[in-house]
Structure 1
Amino acid sequence: MKNKSMLELADVKAIAQAAEAEALKNQWMVTIAIVDDGGHLLALQRLDGAAPISAQIAQAKARTAALGRRESRSYEEMINGGRVSFLSAPLEGMLEGGVPIFAGGQCVGAVGVSGVKSAEDAQIARAGIAALGQS
C-alpha cells in the first residue's frame, strides 16, 4: 500500500492568504479557488469587486489543473495550436489560471484564479502555492 500526501486546512489557509495578498498588492479583484487532487472544492474566495462569473471560472480552472496534473494553460495552448479535439474533453476550465500543487512528486490539489488577464490569474495562483514552499 502506498501513502499519499494531502492538503490540510492549514495549507489551504496559507495558500488562500498568500494568493489574496498577491491579488490585493496588484489591486486585482479576483476569485481564488483551491481544490484537492480530485478537483473537490476546499476553499473559495471572491474578493470585493470580482465579477460573479469569476467564481465559476476559478473553480473550473482549478479542477482542470488538478485532474489533468498540469497547468490549465496547457489545454488552451493545445487547442490554439490546432488540436481542437480537446474541446470535447470533459473539462471546463481550459484557460490559463489553473496551477496544480505538487508535494513529493504527487499532485495534491490545485489553485484556480479568475478575474484579470490569464497570466495574472496564474501569477496569483503561483504566489499562493509558493506559501507552501512547493512547486
Structure 2
Amino acid sequence: MTLQDAMDRAAAGIAKATEMGVPQNIAIVDAGGHLLHFSRMADAWLGSIDISIRKARTAALFKMPTAAIGELSQPGGDLYNIEVTNGGLVSFGGGLPVTDADGRVIGAVGVSGGQVSEDVAVAQACVG
C-alpha cells in the first residue's frame, strides 16, 4: 500500500466520521503492521490514539477483522488471552484488513473514538 493510498483511505474515513458527527482516530498500517499514516480529528479522544493503531496492527498481523479475533478469544476459545501477545492487540471491532485485487492483505485500518459500531462504519469507509 502506498502512502497516497493510505491518505486517501483516511480521507474517506474522515468524511464518514464527519457525516456521522463522531471525531475519530484513524490509523493505516502496511502488511507488516507498521504505521503508514495516522489522522486524529479535532476532539477525538486521546486515549483512542493507541487503540486505533493497535486495531490496525491486529487486523494486519492476523489478516482478519478485529471483531473476529474477539469472537475467537472468548474464555474457553482457542485464542483466549491473545490480546496480551504481540505487544498488545485489540479484540473488538474497528480494525479491518485491506486487500488488493488478488485478495492479498496489503495493510489494515484501525479506527477508534466512537462506539464500536461507529468505529466499524468508519473503518468500512476507509476500506471502501
Shared fold, TM over 0.5: yes
Post-superposition offset of 1:13:
1.4
Q: Of residues 87, 94, 97 in structure 1, which corresponds to 2:91?
A: 94
Describe the SS at the equivalent of 1:59: helix
**C-alpha displacement of 1:88:** 3.8
Q: Structure 1 runs of 4+ off > 4 angstroms?
A: none
Q: Deviations over 1:11-62 (max 9, x none)?
A: 1111011000000000001100000000000111111111111100000000
Checking the alignment, whether the CA contact within 8 Å between 2:74 and 2:80 is kept in structure 1 is: no
Change (3 A) 1:86 1:32: same
The code of the aligned residue for 2:106 comes to: V
Q: RMSD of the alignment, in Å? A: 1.5
Q: Does structure 1 conserve the Cα–Cα contact (< 8 Å) formed by 2:72 and 2:79?
A: no
Percent identity (aligned):
35
Aligned residue in 2 for 1:46 = 40
Retained in 2: the 8 A contact 1:113–1:125? Answer: yes
Query: Unaligned stretches of 5+ in structure 2?
Result: none
Does the CA contact (< 8 Å) of 2:111 and 2:120 recur in 1? yes
Shift of 1:95: 1.4
Aligned to 1:4: none
Match of 1:23 in 2: 17
Paired residues, what number? 124
Which amino acid is the alignment partner of residue 45 of structure 2? A
Give matches, 1:46-125, under 5 Å: 46-80=40-74, 82-83=76-77, 85-88=79-82, 90=85, 91-103=88-100, 104-125=102-123
- Please state whether the residue corresponding to 1:83 is helix, strand or coil: coil
